[in-house]
């Protein structure tokens, strides 16, 4: 995202505490004088305020893209503080800092997890009730609610992107990375969480960025919220495991667990509607299967270069 912003001629300030990201992922953009970076915990309001103010005084910040969050859903289920701190408080503090500094535009990475488990009903943006089944989903939904209230009170415009499973590089987490790493440790066998029937849509990160920038440019509602996803019914975890085995360790056996959930809070199967986004004028070119095959190659290369 930073690379794309710089290519558009913007100046960018990045903030991350590297609890999951890594400095290596931003080495290249750090060479660009229009990019500045602060290592900071965004759940610490006073540190956040001081850092943002420093840049704002120098060169006024026109908008914030808030993408920081916990991305380990099981960790957030065993300890609710994780999502309170990294998923919700980072949003709360972002709004506090923006309000203090008079920054009026916010783009926010939300998730399909806000919907909860609606079984086979196609998820469109106005479906309800929204009852998330993970603390991560709950804290993202609370973040959306807070942004909505800010738009009512003072924030000029917000774009909320609800995306499902995103794949590609740099990969910091997710099933594909997990499979590749497991096979590096035990090349003869891949242990998969759940019975492999979980089925979801997958979107390649390059397409996700295209879609977010498209919505940012063309959605004019003050509170614009959009699903971003693949255009199909997705692929199964079994398919993903088979792709990783074929590319990384052909001939390895795959052992599946029990039940159709990888972990508590996992929504095993959902179908996404991207009609609203299509009506705005954007649709993905890759399907889930192609995106998975592409990401498998990229992630294997990433892991071989570590």
Is 103 or 141 the residue whose CB approaches ligand NAD more closely?
Answer: 141
b (16+ CB within 10 A) / e for 142-174? bbbebbbebbeeebebbbbbbbbbbbbbebeeb
Q: How far is the CB of 87 from ligand NAD (least distance, A)?
A: 7
* The dihedral sign for the CA sequence 69, 73, 75, 80: positive
Q: What tokens appear for 79 in the block?
A: 């300890």
- The least CB distance from residue 222 to ligand NAD, in Å, is 22
Q: Of 81 and 186, which has the nearer Cβ to ligand NAD?
A: 81
Applying CB under 6 A, which residues contact ligand NAD?
A: 16-21, 41-43, 67-71, 86, 90, 109, 111, 163, 165-166, 172-173
- In the chain, what's the furthest Cα-to-Cα distance? 59
Tell me whether residue 167 or residue 252 sits nearer to ligand NAD (CB atom).
167
> Where does residue 279 rank: exposed (0-12), middle (13-18), buried (19+ CB within 10 A)?
exposed
Least CB distance from residue 143 to ligand NAD, whole Å? 9
Closest CA to 216 of 228, 204, 206: 228
* Residue with smaller CB distance to ligand NAD, 172 or 304: 172
Q: Whose Cβ is closer to ligand NAD: residue 68's or residue 300's?
A: 68
CB neighbour class for 251 (10 Å; exposed up to 12, middle 13-18, buried from 19): exposed
Query: Of the two residues 41 and 207, which places its CB atom closer to ligand NAD in the complex?
Result: 41
Give the shortest CB-165-to-ligand NAD separation in angstroms: 5
How near is the Cβ of 139 to ligand NAD at its closest, in Å?
9
Measured from the CB atom, the residue of 94 and 249 that comes closer to ligand NAD is 94
Q: How far is the CB of 67 from ligand NAD (least distance, A)?
A: 4
Minimum Å gap between C-beta 69 and ligand NAD is 3
* 85 versus 182: smaller Cβ distance to ligand NAD: 85
Shortest CB 56 distance to ligand NAD, Å: 18
Strand partners, 37: 14
CA 3 – CA 168 distance, rounded (Å) = 15
Q: What is the CA radius of gyration of the chain?
A: 19
Closest residue to ligand NAD, based on beta-carbon distance: 21
- Complex with ligand NAD: residue 110 or 249, whichever CB lies closer: 110
Q: Are strands 202-204 and 165-167 parallel, antiparallel or unpaired?
A: parallel
Least Å distance between CB 90 and ligand NAD? 5
What long-range pairs does 95-100 form, CB within 8 A, spacing at least 24? 95/146, 95/147, 95/150, 95/155, 96/45, 96/49, 97/45, 97/48, 97/49, 97/52, 98/64, 98/150, 98/155, 99/150, 99/154, 99/155, 100/49, 100/53
Length of the chain: 306
SS3 175: helix
């Amino acid at each position: 995202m930073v690379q794309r912003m710089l290519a558009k001629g913007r100046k960018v300030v990045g903030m991350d505490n590297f609890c999951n990201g890594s400095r290596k992922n931003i080495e290249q953009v750090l060479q660009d004088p229009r990019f500045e970076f602060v290592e900071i915990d965004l759940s610490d309001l006073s540190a956040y305020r001081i850092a943002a103010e420093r840049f704002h005084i120098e060169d006024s910040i026109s908008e914030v893209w808030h993408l920081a969050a916990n991305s380990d859903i099981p960790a957030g289920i065993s300890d609710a503080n994780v999502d309170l701190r990294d998923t919700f408080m980072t949003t709360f503090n972002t709004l506090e800092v923006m309000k203090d500094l008079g920054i009026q535009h916010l783009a926010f990475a939300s998730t399909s997890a806000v919907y909860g488990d609606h079984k086979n009903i196609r998820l469109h943006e106005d479906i309800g009730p929204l009852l998330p089944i993970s603390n991560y989903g709950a804290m993202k939904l609370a973040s959306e609610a807070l942004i909505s209230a800010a738009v009512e009170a003072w924030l000029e415009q917000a774009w909320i992107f609800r995306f499902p499973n995103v794949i590609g590089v740099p990969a910091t987490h997710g099933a594909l990375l997990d499979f590749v790493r497991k096979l590096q440790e035990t090349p003869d066998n891949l242990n998969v969480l759940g019975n492999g029937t979980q089925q979801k849509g997958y979107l390649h990160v390059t397409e996700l960025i295209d879609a977010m920038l498209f919505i940012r440019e063309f959605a004019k509602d003050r509170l614009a919220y959009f699903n971003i996803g693949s255009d199909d019914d997705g692929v199964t975890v079994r398919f993903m495991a088979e792709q990783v085995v074929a590319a990384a360790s052909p001939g390895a056996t795959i052992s599946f667990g029990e039940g159709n959930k990888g972990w508590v809070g996992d929504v095993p199967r959902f179908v996404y509607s991207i009609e609203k986004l299509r009506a705005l004028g954007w649709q993905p070119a890759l399907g889930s299967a192609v995106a998975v095959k592409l990401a498998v190659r990229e992630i294997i290369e990433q892991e071989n270069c570590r």
